Structure 1
Amino acid sequence: MLHETVTGVLGSEPGVSVQELVRRGGAARVLLDESRDAQFLVVGSRGHGGFSGLLLGSVSAACAEHAHCPVLVIHGDTPPPPVSP
């Protein structure tokens, strides 16, 4: 399922290096552990619309505050960036 999602967004030959990992555990803890060796962490944030849509979820907030690398939070209604040919 992960590979299908990555391929659906980036195409079969992405222009960037992508490492697909599946880990067991709480999402925030696993992502924070993985951030120790990462160059960049991208997480999603479920949008709720209106004012609450401006707030981060607990996982994205924990990552933004405690990650060991830069973090980009993508909201659910943000379209993916265009893929370069």
Structure 2
Amino acid sequence: MSIRDEMPIREIQSSTTSQVSMASLILEELVQAIEFSELVGDEGEVAGLTPIQRKVWERYKAQTVQFARDMMMVSGDIGELERRAGV
């Protein structure tokens, strides 16, 4: 699954909070940079990384997605709140 599929950018962009809207612009740029980095490697991976570096890269991507979801949650997105609550 690509990072774009995991990122809730569309939901963040629809927020009326200016801070959250600014975050969506930053997240979109991050997604584009991650996608570009993975284009140059084999099988969607960044070229030339050691196994440990790949683990750190995957952790970075997961943390970026988590940040986006946290931004939705703190902006009061009911869908994200329900997802977190397991409802």
- Given the two structures, how large is their TM-score scaled by the length of structure 1? 0.25
Of Structure 1 and Structure 2, which has the larger fraction of its residues in helix?
A: 2
